[in-house]
A = this chain, B = another copy of it.
């Protein structure tokens, strides 16, 4: 990675201290070194000037040689979001799913679109738009499913690297010819594994140390994979230590299909375990209907779960129990699962995790209703530190600690003026054509009146925020998105 100018970042910083608590650091100064790492963090001084001076002195940096980024009044820095499950190839279908459920959704909407991305100009159009949009929503790290096509998968990796998004990029393996579409299936288990290796080699070529882009082994899911194909990927995993991603226990029909295809397996999770794919580096998307025994096996192997609330509701797959998973010892992150989930926004995914937890609560006994609900803090934890644990980067991203990478977003909300949101017409101050105050439009829908606590502001951002509130985004110290 190119050496960059050092950054000194000034203002208010918010991150998750624990699942239960946010830290708010005001009048703080954070230094980012030329490798994009947090080199120093001076917090809660009397003013940012004092913090900046102390930071520069401690680090021995010359204030004239650094780039200064200062948050405006009311803005705050927040860790970048980590999307632990997203299909870049399905971006063009976001919002199009009708009344389908998983298996008919795949056949009707998803496989045809994915297959069509073997046209590289189409793939480039869809992938670059997906990356640009997810960056604009504050997603600094994404675990992507691409398609079965090698060249298009490699293109996705190239684009992530060029546009500066940290990514795990997986060529989708689906080699079961009885359950995959005839037009979208690997030639054979061996051909599938070989194709995957070509994408692994490509990514090692463009990013030798895996600083930004990492290949990830991606058996689509047990319904469309053969035992031989899964064993071949498991052998690659053992030899390379690469991460793995797949789906598990999303939908009742899918679970029944797996039971029918693998009658000897102890369970759906057991299928992956018995084929060598349930590793500490494995991300299992969904896990909606896991049994207690399956959750225990996931925890024992150290595999992780990507909770995908939007998708689970949109496709009526079921209601995943995050707190129950936590209590079983399972590490959980958050995924948009776009386009099973309609939104590519991780802020929306966090919001929907809170909403889905209300359904868990509504279905629980009285004593457990409050227990089941996820708080603002908890869903933001899922979107940041939880996700970092799921992708195995908890030592590098997810919070603002010295030594971690500067993967962050600057969040700004709209401050309502003393007279309200301009143009009420009572004093003749409404334009003839009803034009809205431009700043209110540009700043998004979160209106701060001034009396809110910082906790309230974060809650307002979670529930009504959108990409307009994400003013700037950095990955490893590089500015990768900015909004006027």
Q: Which residues of A contact B (CB under 8 A)?
A: 91-92, 94-99, 124-129, 131-133, 136, 158-159, 162-164, 313-316, 318-319, 342-345, 355, 358-359, 361-362, 369-370, 373, 375-376, 416, 418-426, 430, 433-438, 440-441, 445-447, 449, 452, 456, 459-464, 466-468, 473, 478-484
Copies held by the complex = 2
Smallest CB gap from A423: residue in B: B132
Q: In the complex the two chains form, is A125's CB within 8 Å of B418's CB? A: yes
Smallest CB gap from A424: residue in B: B128
One of B313, B430, B435, B462 near A359 (C-beta < 8 A): B313
- How far, in Å, is A463 (CB) from chain B's closest CB? 3
Task: Give bound CA distance, A81 to B358, whole Å.
Answer: 27
Q: In the complex the two chains form, is A433's CB within 8 Å of B482's CB? A: yes
Q: In the complex the two chains form, is A464's CB within 8 Å of B343's CB? A: yes
Task: Give bound CA distance, A133 to B464, whole Å.
Answer: 12
In the A-B complex, list the 10 residue pairs whose CB atoms are closest, starting with the nearest. Answer: A162-B425, A95-B463, A128-B420, A128-B424, A129-B421, A342-B463, A125-B420, A95-B460, A316-B358, A132-B421
Chain B residues lying within 8 Å of A158, measured Cβ to Cβ, are: 426
Chain B residues lying within 8 Å of A162, measured Cβ to Cβ, are: 424-426, 430
- How far, in Å, is A409 (CB) from chain B's closest CB? 12
CB pairs A–B below 8 angstroms (20 shown): A94-B447, A95-B463, A96-B452, A124-B419, A128-B423, A129-B416, A131-B424, A132-B420, A132-B422, A132-B424, A162-B430, A163-B423, A163-B425, A313-B358, A316-B361, A342-B464, A359-B359, A434-B479, A435-B482, A466-B466
Chain B residues lying within 8 Å of A361, measured Cβ to Cβ, are: 316
Q: In the complex the two chains form, is B447's CB within 8 Å of A133's CB? A: yes
